[in-house]
Chains A and B, each alone.
Chain A
């Protein structure tokens, strides 16, 4: 229980920081909606529904990337990661707290972006909504680990997309598959498997990422 209390304290801190700074979430919302507007005009009027389904997932992926780019900014600028690493709590709690906070921001951004998508391109099915929830978990689990890796590098703004996008391709495949096929169950199962595997890998390896 103390582990979860540490995670809750760290995630709560991130939410409080965002409440004060209001930098990450508004950017994610605006970027997501702006992308969908661009896609609306870029897509030919007679384009198949399957194409617009794919664009939703491109928007989600890049909104998540934007949130992750900002994830460790406070820790980097104020070197607070040193103090968090020195605390006696399990260091993976830092990862889980950050992943949980990023997940909350991503879900909030999608609460605006998905209705915008419905407005521009038509409705989304239940399978797509479940896929979005599963994809968010996987993107934030992997992304929080990679953001911590990138934060200490010199070319951190370049490094995170280079690390994150290849690892996010399975999420894109699972998400698009569950949106455009008549049998989304296997794609949803694939996304759940991705979440499980990468969450365990990120949880187990975070300690080595934040210690020299």
Chain B
């Protein structure tokens, strides 16, 4: 598969392989993601985009090969298929929990700013189970950005977002582009074509 970039990699993979039982999802992947780059990962369903992102996030271990991700866990932001928030809690309560775990200074101010930016301020005290899928995705973005990560791993972040939400994410990614490294999996690579520095196409 493709080698992407070759300068001071933040993510470095050689011969990366991931198996789930007899099924091999990733096979011999070489990848270098330089600090400050914006790598878009595309590919058909089942090609291993989500698996690759989970490996980079440290949520799964490779079956074979080398994977080095520089930096600390606290510097990683992760947007998954699921919003990774508690449905019975409100947006405020969820973000407050993560704010405490990430030891964010002035977390209430930071939480308020993100909820305002993503249009959730008015619904901040409502339980997440009452949110639409798009609102949950906005909350997932707030959660992932709460600690201002320097490595942002996003799995289909535009999923379920309406036009306004997608435009908000466009602006957020454009701002982050200057001071963070981004690894984004999507089926709609055209959406981020202007921002991307590299593209990795995974074969099914």
Chain A's closest residue to B144 (CB) is A83
Number of residues in B with C-beta < 8 Å to the partner?
28
Contact of A89 among B84, B101, B143 (CB under 8 A): B101
Mark A61-87 against chain B: 1 for CB-CB distance below 8 A, else 0: 000000000000010001110111111
Chain B's closest residue to A19 (CB) is B88
B101 touches A6 (CB 8 A): yes
Query: Contacts A17-B89, A20-B89: A87 and B102 contacting too (C-beta < 8 A)?
Result: yes
5 A-B pairs with the lowest CB-CB distances in the bound complex, closest first: A88-B74, A83-B84, A87-B101, A9-B100, A20-B88
Grouping DSSP codes into helix (H, G, I), strand (E, B) and loop, the A interface class, with mixed when no group exceeds half, is helix
Cα A142 to Cα B100 in complex, Å, equals 26
A21 is an interface residue with CB less than 8 A from chain B: yes
Grouping DSSP codes into helix (H, G, I), strand (E, B) and loop, the B interface class, with mixed when no group exceeds half, is loop
Cα A17 to Cα B86 in complex, Å, equals 8
Given contacts A21-B88, A88-B72, 19 further A-B contacts (CB under 8 A): A2-B103, A5-B100, A9-B100, A13-B89, A13-B93, A13-B97, A16-B89, A74-B88, A78-B85, A79-B84, A83-B85, A83-B98, A86-B76, A87-B73, A87-B98, A88-B102, A212-B59, A212-B60, A212-B61
Cα A24 to Cα B148 in complex, Å, equals 36
- In the assembled complex, which residues on chain B have CB atoms less than 8 Å from the CB atom of A212? 59-61
A20 touches B127 (CB 8 A): yes
B57 is an interface residue with CB less than 8 A from chain A: yes
Query: Contacts A17-B86, A80-B86: A86 and B127 contacting too (C-beta < 8 A)?
Result: no
